[in-house]
Amino acid sequence: MLDYEISPAEAALLLKEKKARLIDVREPWEFHTASIVGSVLMPMGDVPSRAHQELDPDERLVVLCHHGVRSLNTTVWLRDQGFEQAQSLRGGIDAWSAEVDSAVPRY
């Protein structure tokens, strides 16, 4: 079984190879402040009502938020719902900006 968290560098490689889908569980204002190209906005509060309609339980999912707390909680919930390949981006978009793409604004 996959770890519950994935590093920004590991996630970047998966995304570059198109082997994962990026799910952003922050609020819309946060997404508009800073986001990663190709990510899907699905605020944490919307996940329970949208996950089973919009996400594939067999797909590799990388879940992100600002610092990694909301995304880890969402990942645990998704795993409990059968999305066994969901992982939280360790450190969130803040770590992504610091370690992978400094063009993504930090806030």
Which CATH number covers residue 38? 3.40.250.10
Kindly state whether residue 104 falls inside one of the protein's structural domains: no
Q: What are the CA-CA distances from residue 73 to residues 4, 44, 45, 57, 66 (Å)?
A: 10, 9, 11, 17, 13
Q: CA 26, 32, 39, 89: dihedral to nearest 10 degrees?
A: -40
> Which H/E stretch holds residue 51?
helix 47-54
Name residues whose C-beta falls within 8 Å of residue 45's C-beta, 6 or more positions apart in sequence: none
Kindly state whether residue 13 falls inside one of the protein's structural domains: yes
Tally of domains in the chain? 1
The rounded mean pLDDT for the chain is 97
Strands (E), the chain: 5-6, 21-24, 40-41, 61-64, 86-89
* CA–CA gap between residue 18 and residue 61 (Å, rounded): 11
Q: Is the pTM of this model over 0.85?
A: yes
Kindly state whether residue 105 falls inside one of the protein's structural domains: no
3 is catalytic: no
Kindly state whether residue 28 falls inside one of the protein's structural domains: yes
24-41 pLDDT, tens digit per residue, is 999 999 999 999 999 999
Kindly state whether residue 90 falls inside one of the protein's structural domains: yes
Kindly state whether residue 49 falls inside one of the protein's structural domains: yes
pLDDT of residue 43: 98
* CA–CA gap between residue 33 and residue 89 (Å, rounded): 18
Kindly report the number of other CB atoms within 10 A of residue 29's CB atom. 8
Give residue 46's domain range.
Answer: 5-99
pLDDT (mean) for 56-79: 98
What percent of the chain clears pLDDT 90, i.e. is strictly above it?
99
Kindly state whether residue 75 falls inside one of the protein's structural domains: yes
Out of 6, 15, 65, 95, pick the active-site residue.
65
Q: Provide the pLDDT confidence category of residue 1 given band limits of 50, 70 and 90.
A: confident
Kindly state whether residue 106 falls inside one of the protein's structural domains: no
